[in-house]
Amino acid sequence: MKKQVYKCGIILSVLLTLVMLTASCGQEVAAPASQASKTNVARIVFVDQKQACDCTRKRIDGSWAALQAALGARKHIPVERIHMDTDQAKVEPYEEMRAIMVLPAIYLLDGSEKLIDMVQGEVTTDSIGRALQ
């Protein structure tokens, strides 16, 4: 009985995640700029999906291009790209910092690995540029 309840809980969690991801197509969710944004960004983590529907793939690709453009001459900032669907263990620490509502999620971290800011969804070069300031 306990195993069935546990399995149902896992299935419901997975279904809820899938519904949230598919329902979020075409949305941009920008977190409010924190006061810590005056701190220098030392590292960026780009969370996406390896397997995605067309609209999510388009949003991921557009946001990746926007990130590259926003970085411009800041090539010294390392960017780690991880896939939520294949690297869940790597994604978990970032989700603990701030929950992902829509992919892609871009975490901007300082030298102490503290979250400076996070942008997610269909982001633009401008929204990433503001977060990098």
Residues 25-77: pLDDT tens digits?
A: 554 444 444 443 344 899 999 999 999 999 999 999 999 999 999 999 888 99
pLDDT of residue 37: 38
pTM recorded for the entire structure = 0.72
> b/e for 96-120, b at 16 or more Cβ within 10 A?
eeeebebbbbbbbbeeeeebbbbbb
* Residue-level pLDDT at 38: 46
pLDDT at 133: 80
Q: How many Å apart are CA 10 and CA 114, to the nearest integer?
A: 30
Joined tokens for residue 19: 């519904």
Q: What is the mean pLDDT of the chain?
A: 82
Q: Which residue has the higher pLDDT, 93 or 12?
A: 93
